[in-house]
Amino acid sequence: MNIASQELELKVVSKRAKVCSMFKKTAVVLCTLTCGQLPGEAPALADSGNQRADYTAWLKDHTYWRKLHPEYVGQMIYDVPIGKSPSIGPVDAKVTIVEFVDFSDSYSRQLAVGCHSLMMRYPGRVRIVFKNYPNSGGSNSLTEHKVAMAALLQGKFWPIYSRLFLLPREKTRDESTYLRWAKELNLDIDKFQHDRNSVEVTRLIESDIADARSCQMTLGAPKFFLNGRRVMTPKSMDELASGVEFELME
């Protein structure tokens, strides 16, 4: 190795050491500001690709995480009934998100879009389970949940869900809109119209509302459970995403 190469290698090593030192100092500052105390001794920062993983595990075990994520750590874990509720993603996914949402609620829509983006960010590691929670008081709230459940009975729940939530929202949605969707999905129109007002569909919706109450949920959508840990109405998508990331480290 010539002198130029040695100097370059020394510069690289020195730069890595500075980055490691900065990461360690940042961790200590975060713990101090968040918890009001210094964390325990951190593991040595070796010059390897595992150093961030080592620090993540270390931070997770300290008060830093408990203060930063009070809504997840140490909270009661609810046994949220899933049953035959519509779900997307692997049954054995590391994180199961149960969403109680209202199709006529704009914030439910916003966070539902974010939930599905998390599935793409963590392929194979996140599962979403849908629960009806029509309580916004909007004129179309219950109507649209009945539309979704009628589509479910013909195996087309997620395509209808996409039209209600994920695709650009149409300016107006009325009977003609729902019938057009049913035709686009090749649903049996007579069955679709009958099921919307059937006892079976009503029971599906009422069962989800009963599940919400059994988990001590207050009124107002949306509500989420991450592996059974309740997240009331998240203030932002970042808050929900941080919860998913925390669960992935468990």
Specify the pLDDT at position 3.
Answer: 54
Specify the pLDDT at position 193.
Answer: 96
Q: Around Cβ 55, how many Cβ atoms within 10 Å? A: 18
Specify the pLDDT at position 116.
Answer: 84
Specify the pLDDT at position 233.
Answer: 61
Specify the pLDDT at position 30.
Answer: 35
Specify the pLDDT at position 136.
Answer: 60
List the chain residues with pLDDT less than 70: 1-75, 136-139, 219, 232-236, 250
- Name the residue ranges covered by the structural domains of the chain: 3-68, 87-249
Specify the pLDDT at position 248.
Answer: 82
Specify the pLDDT at position 100.
Answer: 92
Specify the pLDDT at position 12.
Answer: 41
Specify the pLDDT at position 73.
Answer: 55
Specify the pLDDT at position 46.
Answer: 41
Specify the pLDDT at position 166.
Answer: 75
Q: Around Cβ 35, how many Cβ atoms within 10 Å? A: 16
Domain boundaries 87-249, corresponding CATH code: 3.40.30.10
Specify the pLDDT at position 250.
Answer: 67
Specify the pLDDT at position 53.
Answer: 54
